[in-house]
Amino acid sequence: MTSPRTTLSLVDTDPAELAVDAIVIGVHSQTTEQESGSPAGALLLASGAESIAAAFDGKLTETLALLGATGGPGEVIKLATLGTVTAPVVAAVGLGPEPSGAAPAPETLRRAAGAAVRALAGAARVALALPLPDDADAPAALRAVGEGALLGGYRFAGYKTKPQPARRAPVAEVLVAVPDAADTTAQAEVTRAQAVAGAVRTSRDWVNTAPNELRPPSFADAVATAAREAGLGVEVLDEAALAAGGYGGILAVGQGSEAPPRLVKLTYTPEGGGNGKRVALVGKGITFDTGGISIKPAQGMWEMKSDMAGAAAVGAAMLAVAALKPSVAVTGYLPMAENMPSGTSYRPGDVITMYSGKRVEVLNTDAEGRMILADGIARACEDGADYLFETSTLTGGQVIALGKKIAGVMGTPELCERVRAAGDATGEPAWPMPLPDDVRKGMDSDVADISQVNAGMDRAGHMLQGGVFLREFVTDDVAWAHIDIAGPGYHSGEATGYWTKGGTGVPVRTLLHLVDDVAANG
């Protein structure tokens, strides 16, 4: 099910003269009296809105303040223009305190654009006259505005059978005001923002789809169809091919469901071979997770439709890779299964022979993600990779340790630092975590090569146990990073910034930034 799409373009017409349904400007909060002599608490107009302010005879900020505007981040106040400018509505979006001697950070602009476009649902055409720097930081700022606008306007199509009178249609067209709409660098940023945001929206659509409509075979079909249309190489292993290939982890998790498991491999090969490096992306695709025999509590289990957010992110990122054409080879691996309790489910106490040949003692069938990922990782290493990035809604321990917006990262220290830097650059924060020896020691098994969890630690170090287990399936010559998005992959609260309720698309933008980083720097 595809969400309505928003188009994005540039415009260099005076914002006061734009023929749009609404014009968005930025306002800063002011907490102390500044050199301008403005009293503490007054609003400060951000750059880009000068002609709008002039049309209001200098009374724009005063009027917005009377309407309750504070300039707080993400706050949106709408004002009827009554003919003072061409647009019938001015929407002022808060940017927080004015940064000293600099334009707002890209993430501030990304969130502001998202909040404004979402608040203007019902308007067909919206223009953004937000502050953009005129230096080397301009491309990143413009990219952020574009991404925020396209993602803030996202709405899942849903399943309602009757029209909802209160649900106004998302904004159809967004124009971003810039000094020169024909500038090639600016145009390139718009193209990239459309490709990246389109991938994030696709990822969100897959995550938000009802789990009865996106079981492993249908999920694999959806990804494969989109990938073929994008020009990617596609290989889909069904249950027979998985059995013939020895993918014990994927098969074990999937054997409890009547919907059989899949492994989807997507391949992008750059023209001329690129820079010679190979990137592997691996994503967890548990289309629904009951916990299996080790069944989960009922409360909140409905959110387990999002347990395939890692695979959704990898599949969507590969679509953007096909569009952006980086100079590095990229291959995506999406192991998919449905973890259900039944007479054929795998059990605590089972010993599973994995794709790598390693034997795993199962202690908890709810630790299923690491089982399918281990097979995907082993296949990626066998195929050849210099850098491996794996992402998954793997552990509740990630949420306990880092909350719902910061991913946990484990793996090769240098690569973990690159993931952290990529997260900072894209607004998808991640924090490196250790892989302690004592966690691994507790996973020694009496009957197999390794147990699935550290029984002695129970829930202690839960996130770290996942990383330690996955490390066993990465070959020594591959730099790797495991990105646990159990919290950031799904947003159950109200919409904020460019996040809407449901799937977030994290970490699509991080993965694409990392691919660019490897393409540029190896």
User: Three-state DSSP class for 45?
Assistant: strand
Sheet containing 359-361: which strands, arranged edge to edge? Answer: 351-353, 359-361, 450-451
| Residue 296 annotated among the catalytic residues of the structure | yes
For helices 508-521 and 184-208, give the axis angle rounded to 10 degrees. Answer: 140
User: Three-state DSSP class for 486?
Assistant: coil
Contacts of 66 (CB under 8 A, 6+ apart): none
**CA–CA dist 236, 252 (Å, integer):** 18
- Please give the C-alpha separations between residue 458 and each of 362, 363, 461, in angstroms, as whole numbers: 14, 11, 8
**CA–CA dist 362, 299 (Å, integer):** 25
- 3-state percent helix, strand, coil for the chain, nearest multiple of 5: 35, 20, 45
* CA nearest neighbour of 281 among 516, 422, 482: 482
Q: Which of the following is catalytic: 5, 296, 405, 501? A: 296
| Residue 370 annotated among the catalytic residues of the structure | yes
- Number of separate helices (H) and strands (E) present in the chain: 15, 21
Per-residue buried b or exposed e for 34-73, using 16+ beta carbons within 10 Å of the residue's own CB? eeeeeeeebbbbbbbbebbbebbeeebbeebbeeebbbeb
Strand ranges for 16-144 from DSSP E: 22-29, 44-45, 76-80, 89-97, 125-129
DSSP letter for each residue of 254-322: HTTSSS--EEEEEEE--GGGTTS-EEEEEE-EEEEE--TTSPPPSTTGGGGGGGGHHHHHHHHHHHHHH
Strand partners, 231: none
Contact yes or no for 390/377 (Cβ under 8 A): yes
- Residue 253: its H or E element: helix 248-254
- Please give the C-alpha separations between residue 247 and each of 132, 218, 476, in angstroms, as whole numbers: 51, 20, 21
Please, is 85 exposed, middle or buried when counting C-beta atoms within 10 Å of its C-beta (0-12, 13-18, 19+)?
Answer: buried
* CA nearest neighbour of 212 among 264, 288, 263: 288
Per-residue buried b or exposed e for 335-353, using 16+ beta carbons within 10 Å of the residue's own CB? bbbbbbeeeebbeeebebb
Q: Which of the following is catalytic: 370, 379, 418, 420? A: 370
Contact yes or no for 61/89 (Cβ under 8 A): no
Query: What's the half-sphere exposure (Cβ side, CA atoms, 13 Å) at 295?
Result: 9
Question: Which residues are annotated as catalytic?
Answer: 296, 370
